[in-house]
Structure 1
Amino acid sequence: MRLGVTMFATDLSMPVTELARAVEERGFASLYLPEHTHIPVSRRTPPAAGQDVLPEEYRRTLDPLVALSHAAAVTGRISLGTGILLAAQREPIVTAKAVATLDHLSGGRVVLGVGFGWNVEEVEDHCGPGGFRSRRDIAREHVLAMKALWSRDVAGFDGRHVAFEPSWSWPKPVSGPPVYLGGAAGPKLFAHIAEYADGWMPIGGRGVRAALPALREACEKAGREPARVIPFGTRPGAEKLDYYAGLGIEEVVLDLPSAPADRVLRVLDEYAAFLPRFLPR
C-alpha cells in the first residue's frame, strides 16, 4: 500500500516546492492539493466539517494546478493530485488544457481528484442561482467534456451544461489522467463513479468497508472493473493503516496541517515512520 499526503497550500503555509521535495525525499507516493476559488464573506453555509468558524486556510488556498506545476518542476517520481478540484466551478475547455499540460510536463504524474463542493454561495457565484442543486450534473458534464478532449484527436460535446463544436486540443495527457470522485457513500455518487471515474476518494476514510459492496455492485451494473478506493485526508495510526491494507486499499492519503515548514516537517516525519510497514518484502 502506498502512502501520500495532502495539505491546504496557502500563501502562509510551507511553500509547495519545499513540501514536494520533502514528500519525495521521504518516500511518500503522492502529494494532493485542494481547491477553493474564493470564500464569500456572507458565510451563509456553515463549515462542512462542523467547525464553529471556518479555518483561515479556506480563504487563502492556492490554485492547485498552478501550485502542482511548481511541485512537478522539483520532483521526478511522486504523483501530483488535486484533492479535490471543484469541476462544476471550472470552465472545462480551459481546465482540460491546463490538466493536460501539467500531465504532459510532469511525465504523466497527474491524478485528478474531483468534488462537487459544499459551499452554497461559492458554487452559485460560478453556476448561478440554483447551481448548487445542479452541481453534480454540471461536474459530470465538465469531466466528460474534458475526457473527450484528452482522448480524441477531434472532440466535440453537446450537453445541457456545456457544448462545443468538434475541436483540436493538444497536448494530450500521458496518463489519462485517472479521475477519482470525492464524497460520501451513496447510490448517486457510486453511479457517477461507475459511469465516468476511476475510483472513489472517501474524505476521512470512514465507512469504507461497509460501502465497498455497493460500490462493487454499481461497477458491475455498468459492466466495468471495480473502482479503486483512496481514503483521503485521514489521520494515520498503525491499526488504521493495517486495516486499510487488509481491505486491499492501494493508497491512503494522510492529512498535513496547513502551517509553516517547521510544523509540517515534524508531522511529515511522524508519518514517514509508517512507510516501512508497507515496503515490498
Structure 2
Amino acid sequence: MRLGITMFTTDLAMPVHELARAAEERGFASLYVPEHTHIPISRRTPPPAGQDELPEEYKRTLDPLVALSYAAAVTTRLRVGTGILLAAQRDPIVTAKAVATLDHLSGGRVVLGVGFGWNADEVAQHGVPYRSRREVAREHVLAMRALWRDEVAAFDGAHTRFEPSWSWPKPVSGPPVYLGGAAGPKLFAHVAEYADGWMPIGGRGVRAALPALREACEKAGRPMARVIPFGTLPTREKLDHYAGLGVEETVASVPSAPADVVLPVLDAYARLL
C-alpha cells in the first residue's frame, strides 16, 4: 500500500516545496493539491461538506500546476498530482501544454485528478452552465489526451474544437487521469470511457461501489479502473481494508496550516507506512 498526502495549498499554509520535501523524506508516494480559480462571494452554493461557513482555505488556494512545479523541482521520487483539477473551467489547449510541461520536467511524475466542480457560482463565471459541466469536462480531457498522444492532434466536439495542430512537449507518463466524485452510474460511465481510475473523495463506500465500477468497465471493454481513496484520515485498519480490496494507493488529508501543525501529522501518518 502506497500512502500519499493532500493539502489545501494556500498563501498561509506550509509552503508547498517544504511540504513536498518533508513528504518525500518520510516515504510518502505522492502529493496532491486542489483547485479553485476563485470563490464568488455570492455564496448561492452551500459549502460542500455541510459547513455553516466555507472554510478559509477555499478562498486562498494556489494554482495547482504552478504549486506542483515547485513540489516537483525539490523532489526526485514524489508523484505530484491535482486533487482535483476543474477541467470544465480550463482552456484545454493551454492546460494540456502546462500539464505536459510539468510531466516532462518532472520525469513523468504527474497524476491528473479531475473533477466536475461543486460550486455553481464558480463554474458559471467561467461561462459554463452548471448542468453542462460534466460534458464540458469530458471533452476537455479528451482534447487534452489527443494533444498529449498525437503528433498532429485535432478535436471536433460540441464544446471544444481545434484544427490539426502540433503541441509539444509530449508527457512522459500519459499522464494517468483519475475522476473524483461520488459513486454512481454517471460518474462510472465517465471513468470507463476516458479515465484510468476513480478517486472516491473521503474514501467511504468503496467496497459497495466496486461491482458497479467493474460492470461499467466491462461494458466499455476495458480493464478494471484503478481506485485511489482520496482525502482520508488513515488508520492501520482502514489501510488494511483498502489493501484487501485491491487498492494500491490511498491519499491522506493533512490540515491546511503552517509547518508546526503539519509536520506532526506527517510523522503520525508515516508510522503507518
TM-score (norm. length: structure 2):
0.99
Superposition map of 1:215-254 within 5 A: 215-254=213-252
2:111 is equivalent to residue 86 of structure 1: no
- What displacement does 1:127 show? 2.5
Partner Cα distance (1:191, 1:217) in 2: 10
Query: What secondary structure sits across from 1:27 in the alignment?
Result: coil
- What displacement does 1:92 show? 0.2
Post-superposition CA distance 1:64-103 (Å, at most 9, x none): 0000000011000011000000000000000000000000
- The aligned amino acid for 1:149 is L
Aligned residue number for residue 119 of structure 1 = 119
170, 173, 187: which is aligned to 2:171? 173
Aligned residue number for residue 37 of structure 2 = 37
- What displacement does 1:54 show? 0.3
Aligned residue number for residue 211 of structure 1 = 209
- What displacement does 1:202 show? 0.2
Aligned residue number for residue 155 of structure 1 = 153
- The aligned amino acid for 2:90 is R
- What displacement does 1:63 show? 0.3
Partner Cα distance (1:19, 1:237) in 2: 21
Aligned-CA RMSD value: 0.5
- The aligned amino acid for 1:71 is A
Post-superposition CA distance 1:208-262 (Å, at most 9, x none): 0000000000000100000000000000111111111111100000000000001
Aligned residue number for residue 74 of structure 1 = 74
Query: What secondary structure sits across from 1:82 in the alignment?
Result: strand
Aligned residue number for residue 141 of structure 1 = 139
Post-superposition CA distance 1:179-234 (Å, at most 9, x none): 00000000110010000000000000000000000000000010000000000000
- The aligned amino acid for 1:147 is R
Query: What secondary structure sits across from 1:254 in the alignment?
Result: strand
CA contact 1:88–1:127 (8 Å) conserved in 2: no
Post-superposition CA distance 1:144-195 (Å, at most 9, x none): 0000000000000000000000000000000000000000000110010000
Partner Cα distance (1:134, 1:194) in 2: 19
Partner Cα distance (2:260, 2:269) in 1: 15
Partner Cα distance (1:119, 1:72) in 2: 29
Structure 1 moving runs of 4+ over 6 Å: none
Aligned residue number for residue 108 of structure 1 = 108
- The aligned amino acid for 1:78 is L
Aligned residue number for residue 55 of structure 1 = 55
Query: What secondary structure sits across from 2:242 in the alignment?
Result: helix
Query: What secondary structure sits across from 1:239 in the alignment?
Result: helix
Aligned residue number for residue 267 of structure 2 = 269
Partner Cα distance (2:223, 2:35) in 1: 29
Query: What secondary structure sits across from 1:252 in the alignment?
Result: strand
Aligned residue number for residue 196 of structure 1 = 194
Partner Cα distance (1:268, 1:127) in 2: 39
Partner Cα distance (1:30, 1:127) in 2: 33
Unaligned runs of 5+ in 2: none
Q: Say how many residue pairs are matched.
A: 273
CA contact 1:6–1:254 (8 Å) conserved in 2: yes
- The aligned amino acid for 2:59 is R
Unaligned runs of 5+ in 1: 276-281
- The aligned amino acid for 1:43 is R
Partner Cα distance (2:121, 2:268) in 1: 37
Query: What secondary structure sits across from 2:126 in the alignment?
Result: helix
2:99 is equivalent to residue 99 of structure 1: yes
Aligned residue number for residue 278 of structure 1 = none
Query: What secondary structure sits across from 1:241 in the alignment?
Result: helix
